[in-house]
Amino acid sequence: MTNLISVIYEDDSLLVLDKPAGLVVDPAETVKSKTLADILQKDFGIKLLRGGIVHRLDKDTSGLILAAKTQDALENLQSQFKERVVRKEYLALAHGFITEGGIIDAAIARNPENREKFIVMEGEEAREAVTEYEPLERLQFTGDRLQEVFFGFNKIQFKKLSTTHYNLFTFLRCKPKTGRTHQIRVHLKYIGNPVVADERYAGRKTYRLDKRWCPRQFLHAAKISFKHPKSGEWMEFESGLPEDLKKALSYLSS
């Protein structure tokens, strides 16, 4: 997995990395494979806790992630996240047509019925969560592509795809103003437009349909901007959509 991690930028203070999907960021008791933190500590020689990783990305989310090389840089960048100086942009493919952009301001907490999931709720455990979103393109399956992807379906099954409007999607830009776990995934689910191929939030039946043409949750950390922890210079980095998500998009038409 090490050779799949692209170093976008590096200096004496920090690293900007392009994380592939499937790589876990933090070690945990349930994680047996090598994590990004392990790679940064062992292969990049960063001795800080968590390999100097400043923030998180879900295992199956690809894209840009920051790692500090020094304690001073780590504290500075963490402070920038806390004070909302850092700007992040994600690209997502969501179910259904979204015609206008907006802001989702809805607190998030762990689901008391399933501690591995999060939900929008009120109460002491809930933490503020704000996501701005902007539709970039509305997409759908054409008849030929639908037949290709769902080869073997009978007339009743195809009719159900039609009546449930399964063939409608929106390609989105999402800008989280806070950094809660699963925030974008939970918020898009909350407004009725879950991320494509999101095993936890799209719903079991929808997820099974999605996996026929999209290999993993369609969420990519595409842009990050922040002040350099030493010089104070404003820095911006971008990561293009990975090939697996480009291929998934190729099944859809405007």
Taking only the tens place, the pLDDT of each residue in 53-72 is 999 999 999 999 999 999 99
As a whole number, the mean pLDDT across the chain is: 93
- The verdict on residue 14 lying in a domain is yes
246 and 135 assigned to the same domain: yes
120 and 108 in contact (C-beta within 8 Å)? Answer: yes
In this structure, what CATH number is given to the domain that contains residue 17? Answer: 3.30.2350.10
CA trace torsion 28, 30, 34, 40 (10° rounding): -10
- The verdict on residue 120 lying in a domain is yes
Which residues, listed in sequence order, are joined to residue 108 by a DSSP beta bridge?
120, 127
How many other β-carbons are positioned within 10 Å of the β-carbon of residue 211?
14
Kindly give, in sequence order, each residue whose CB lies less than 8 Å from that of residue 214, ignoring residues fewer than 6 positions away.
93, 196, 197, 245, 248
- Residue ending a domain, among 41, 57, 83, is 83
- The verdict on residue 61 lying in a domain is yes
Give the count of domains, the chain: 2
53 and 119 assigned to the same domain: no
217 and 103 assigned to the same domain: yes
Question: Domain limits at 72?
Answer: 1-83
> Any idea what DSSP says for residue 60?
T
Annotate 54-73 with b (16+ C-beta within 10 A) or e (fewer).
bbebbbbbbbbbbbbbbeeb
Is residue 58 among the annotated active site residues? Answer: yes
137 and 54 assigned to the same domain: no
Kindly give, in sequence order, each residue whose CB lies less than 8 Å from that of residue 106, ignoring residues fewer than 6 positions away.
120, 129, 187, 190
pLDDT at 213: 96
- The verdict on residue 229 lying in a domain is no
Which of 38, 58, 198, 210 is flagged as catalytic?
58
Taking only the tens place, the pLDDT of each residue in 171-213 is 999 999 999 999 999 999 999 999 999 999 999 999 999 999 9
CA trace torsion 21, 180, 196, 160 (10° rounding): 150
